[in-house]
Amino acid sequence: MPPRKSPTLTEAELRLMKMLWRRGESAVGDLVAAMPESDALAYNSVLTTIRILEKKGYVTHRQEGRAFIYAACVAEGDAGKVEVRHVLQRFFGNSREKLLLSLLGDEEITPAELQRLKDAIRENAVAAGEARGGEAN
């Protein structure tokens, strides 16, 4: 049985998506040329990966002369949300609380990060209360 297609991005796919998000529309040759030497991939590897990204719905193309020009059709933030939802479902049983408690239990969290999390929770609680027509505590 062939492996199931994953909606999430592999490391190679993510590298190419980051390049497309940063550069905008690009031909495969341009992506190959723009890769750092330490992460260089062959033209055919980039082409294969771009085609996989297109099948997954992350990339679209248009033809310009004989060349295909590829562009991201999923915003970076939206792709990140897909990845977080995948981790949330796979590792935390769709429990946002378990995910957040896991993050809070990380010994490397800084006081500034903790304060931003507190502020975000407070702001979301207020917004949720307003959406329900009430007031959040």
Summarize pLDDT for 23-36 with one digit per residue, the tens: 999 999 999 999 99
- Single out the residue of 137, 105, 119 nearest to residue 97, CA to CA: 105
Q: Which amino acid is at 53?
A: L
Angle at 56 between CA 86 and CA 52, to 5 degrees: 120
Residue 135's pLDDT band (cuts 50, 70, 90): low
- Of the pLDDT bands very low, low, confident and very high (cuts 50, 70, 90), residue 88 is very high
Average pLDDT, the chain: 89
pLDDT at 127 over 70: yes
- Count CB atoms within 10 A of the CB of residue 50: 23
Helix axes 11-23, 43-56, angle to 10 degrees: 90
Per DSSP, the residues of 95-132 read -HHHHHHHHHT-TT--HHHHHHHHHHHHHHHHHHHHHT
CATH class of 11-72: mainly alpha
**CB-based contact 52:13 (threshold 8 Å):** yes
Distance (Å, whole) CA 118 – CA 46? 42
The domain locations on the chain are 11-72, 106-137
Q: What is the pLDDT of residues 92-105, one digit of tens each?
A: 999 998 998 888 88
User: What average pLDDT does this structure show over 75-81?
Assistant: 95
Judge whether residue 5 has pLDDT over 70. Answer: no
